[in-house]
């Protein structure tokens, strides 16, 4: 079973919330934290990583918060994972010879996961969320 880290789940949800906001409106961390039911301090750590990766930008002032650094359709889920955890890899199977008889299977699984992450954009997740009536999308694989 593949597991998605808490950082990736909350980071993705935060990005979907930012991407789904009124265009040009910065979303404050407190608002995201309240909507996602996570502490502001924990979310600030996640947002810091997303900002460092160039996925979001800070807006200062009384109407400050965060906006996407680029259009939602150009931000892929593999970028989000990389920003929060590093490259998405499986612990076993990086090398077929080292992985034993099932090495080829582990490599194919890793490639499939990488392919899905690279094919899903924030825009896809925003649209899925809207189709579900605004309910937070599921990010389980």
Is 90 part of any domain? yes
pLDDT value at position 78?
Answer: 94
In contact, 122 and 74? CB cutoff 8 Å: no
Residues, the chain: 141
- Report the pLDDT averaged over residues 17-24: 91
Q: Structurally, how many domains does the chain consist of?
A: 1
Is 1 part of any domain? no
In contact, 141 and 113? CB cutoff 8 Å: yes
Which CATH number is 120's domain given? 1.10.10.10
pLDDT tens digits along 44-65? 999 999 999 999 999 999 889 9
Q: How far apart are CA 37 and CA 68, in angstroms?
A: 21
pLDDT value at position 4?
Answer: 84
pLDDT tens digits along 60-83? 998 899 999 999 999 999 999 999
**Domain residues for 82?**
6-131
Is 20 part of any domain? yes
Among 74, 69, 63, smallest CA distance to 18 is for: 69
pLDDT at residue 141 is higher than 70: no
In contact, 32 and 72? CB cutoff 8 Å: no
């Amino acid at each position: 079973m593949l597991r998605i880290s808490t950082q990736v789940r909350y980071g993705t949800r935060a990005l979907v919330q930012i991407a789904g906001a009124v265009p040009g409106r910065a979303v404050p961390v407190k608002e995201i934290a309240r909507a996602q039911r996570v502490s502001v301090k924990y979310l600030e750590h996640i947002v810091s990583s997303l900002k460092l990766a160039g996925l979001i930008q800070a807006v200062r002032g009384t109407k400050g918060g965060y906006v996407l650094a680029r259009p939602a359709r150009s931000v892929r889920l593999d970028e989000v994972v990389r920003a929060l955890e590093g490259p998405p890899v499986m612990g076993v199977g990086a090398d077929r010879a080292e992985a034993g008889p099932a090495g080829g299977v582990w490599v194919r699984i890793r490639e499939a996961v990488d392919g899905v992450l690279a094919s899903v954009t924030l825009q896809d997740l925003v649209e899925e969320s809207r189709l579900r009536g605004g309910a937070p999308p599921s990010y389980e694989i």
